[in-house]
Structure 1
Amino acid sequence: MTTKLLLLGLLINFLVVKDAQAVGVCYGRNGDGLPSPRDVVSLYQRNGITKMRIYDPHQPTLEALRGTNIELMIGVPNDALQSLNNQNAANTWVRDNIQSYSNVRFRYIAVGNEVDPNNGNSQYVRFVLPAMQNVFNAIRAAGLGNQIKVSTATYSGLLGSSFPPSNGAFRDNVRGFIEPIIRFLAQNNLPMLANIYPYFSDPGSNLPYALFTATRPVVNDNGRQYSNLFDAILDAHYAAQARLGGGNVPIVVSESGWPSSGTSVATVANAGTYNRNLIAHVRGTTGTPLKPGRSIETYLFAMFDENRKPGNEEEKHFGLFSPAQQPKYGQLNFN
């Protein structure tokens, strides 16, 4: 009996470890003095980072990834969406950027990033879904449909309501854009990609809630207890999707992070706390209050600070590593 219990315990432990979700890191290149793509891939490997997101089909990076165990989320830039509204162009894009790299472990194609009728990307709204459909068709025709999932990367700016999380809903003028996308994902068993940043949700009003350091639940949503803002935002996205027919569409967190400079709460200490606690949180198997037990696949933003990135000052300071490949927050336990 003792031997059987020991074997059962080992099996349960193996299954829990196997199910633990690896954490990816986004690799942006809008900075000066950054390492070569080959050195960056080596940095991922040395740190046990087995998932990467890139924002365009950058050939030197794809070459450096050949034969590695790193799973890749590759992006179609917003300014390329219109061209992929043509099926032949989408076929060519897949041939040149996916099929030509057969020994790269592609996992997702993010067709567009944070396209929104209400921001500077509004001109791309009408191109997103047709581009997704054409890329999906091309992936399926290439026999890669079981390996590579096609989606788009959305963000919390599309939500008109997010509190409490069960009231999550998209803005009225966003529904015509996002509902057909959600239904397409649901029909084809594809995930939604979502960039989720507690930092941009007024964290100063309750910093422990944003940094995963609250010692007790902060929000009670019809019996669901929330002790961190990340889960609350993620569940608001799930609730918003469910209102539009996407209750069963899983969400992959395609970006999340915290800046180390630029505002009073953007400090090295807070960024280190957020990133360490986020990794620990998503590597567990507890899920969120709305989706208990569901893994939370997450990509941290970003590998390096990007001093050439436009926008507010904090946008330039999300990096986990210096250009000299030294960790900004000490050693992070990715896997």
Structure 2
Amino acid sequence: MASRLLLLGLLVNLLMLTDARVGVCNGRIGNNLPSEKETVTLFQTNGISRMRIYDPNQATLDALRGTNIELMVGVPNDDLQSLTDQNGANTWVSNNILKYPNVNFKYIAVGNEVDPDKESKKYMTYVLPAMRNVHNALRAAGLDRQIKVSTATYTGLLTNTYPPSDGAFKVPGFIQPIITFLVENNLPMLANIYPYFGYLGDPNKNLQYALFTAQGNVVTDSKNRLQYSNLFDAMLDAHYAAQARVGGGNLEIVVSESGWPSNGGEAATLDNAGKYYRNLIEHVRGTKGTPLKPGRSIETYLFAMFDENNKGPEETEKYFGVFTPRKESKYGLNFN
């Protein structure tokens, strides 16, 4: 019996470690980036087993053929309207998923940071129909359990984040039907979580809290007495609290982006960025979880693989890479 329990414990630990793998977002908004094939090779040689791309870039998909890299592929916001027609969604899935049977698709992010208060509000009415139609197309192909459909939200959709238990969506009427769809189909929510931007908006400017380097707890949530030693957990739990208010209390969140710039703005230094990425990797691949959701690893995608010299409008947007365009590691990260 003891040996069986030991074996079971080892298997559980193995599953936790497997689930804790860290991915990296592969943005391509630059004119000096390595080729798609070189990029995939760089993922492999550094043991990065998960990738996020923002559109079904065919050169990247071709380079991923036959690899074990798990892929999150995005539907750009500009393409959402075309997928509100089921035939359009069927064609998209046929051209970008079924055409690549030896690519290890894991998620399809249908839209990114569609915000009712910003220019992207014009896409609001397209998100859920497009998600539903892509899911239907996958189900027709027998792939709906293997490839999960979702959309990528971000902290800008929340009206409150402090204390974390007060987290709420600014426009619940937009997000609640999406969460209902995800819950009904056992699909995760994707969320872009950036303590860097949280730090910029913090009147106390607690850099250690944002970099995971605070000595002890910094915030005690007065509503539930949970304590927070880092801003990442507080932001993530604010998302969980917001979801709970619209019927998604048990809905899993995958952190689809998180990063820190190394140049171009306040606190944007190589030292700070290196600390953030190293500490984030250590934090999410453990099984500590967050104060509100303890005991679980947090699937997380670092933003981004390379510095992207054509990004903007803020100067910091160019410097989120963990590698330079010359494929040099900026921080010597141990990904997995």
Determine the C-alpha separation between the residues in 2 that align with 1:322 and 1:197: 21
Q: Who is 2:163 aligned against?
A: 164
Q: Who is 1:135 aligned against?
A: 134
Moved over 6 A (4+): none
Aligned pair partner of 1:189 in 177, 186, 191: 186
Give the superposition deviation at 1:176. 1.4
After superposition, give the CA deviation of every residue in 1:126-161 in whole Å (9 maximum; x if it has no partner). Answer: 110110010010011110011000000000000001
Opposite residue 51 of structure 1, the aligned amino acid is R
Determine the C-alpha separation between the residues in 2 that align with 1:122 and 1:313: 25
Give the superposition deviation at 1:263. 1.3
Q: Who is 1:12 aligned against?
A: 9
Give the superposition deviation at 1:219. 1.0
Determine the C-alpha separation between the residues in 2 that align with 1:67 and 1:114: 31
Q: Residue 84 of structure 2 contacts residue 126 of structure 2 at CA under 8 Å; is this kept in 1?
A: yes
Determine the C-alpha separation between the residues in 2 that align with 1:9 and 1:238: 34
Aligned pair partner of 1:286 in 285, 288, 311: 288
After superposition, give the CA deviation of every residue in 1:85-130 in whole Å (9 maximum; x if it has no partner). Answer: 1000100000010000000000000000000011121111111011
After superposition, give the CA deviation of every residue in 1:294-335 in whole Å (9 maximum; x if it has no partner). Answer: 221000000001111122000111001011111011x21111
Unaligned runs of 5+ in 1: none
Q: Residue 286 of structure 2 contacts residue 296 of structure 2 at CA under 8 Å; is this kept in 1?
A: no
Q: Who is 2:125 aligned against?
A: 126
Q: Who is 2:59 aligned against?
A: 60
> Residues 223-234 of structure 1 correspond to what in structure 2 (within 5 A)?
223-234=225-236
Opposite residue 89 of structure 1, the aligned amino acid is G
Aligned Cα root-mean-square deviation (Å): 1.4
Range 9-18 or range 243-252, more displaced? 9-18
Determine the C-alpha separation between the residues in 2 that align with 1:142 and 1:247: 30
Structure 1 residue 218 and structure 2 residue 215: aligned? no
Opposite residue 195 of structure 2, the aligned amino acid is P
Q: Who is 1:277 aligned against?
A: 279
Opposite residue 25 of structure 2, the aligned amino acid is C
Aligned length, in residue pairs: 329
Give the superposition deviation at 1:11. 5.6
Opposite residue 185 of structure 1, the aligned amino acid is L
After superposition, give the CA deviation of every residue in 1:7-41 in whole Å (9 maximum; x if it has no partner). Answer: 86576355324312000000000012111111100
**Length-normalised TM-score, structure 2:** 0.95
Give the superposition deviation at 1:224. 1.1
Give the superposition deviation at 1:43. 0.2
> Cα gap change, 1:66/1:295 in structure 2, threshold over 3 Å: closer, same or farther?
same
Q: Who is 2:87 aligned against?
A: 88
Give the superposition deviation at 1:248. 1.2
Q: Who is 2:173 aligned against?
A: 176
> Residues 15-54 of structure 1 correspond to what in structure 2 (within 5 A)?
15-20=12-17, 21-54=20-53
Q: Who is 1:145 aligned against?
A: 144
Percentage of matched positions with identical amino acids: 67
Range 215-224 or range 22-31, more displaced? 215-224
SS of equivalent to 1:254: strand
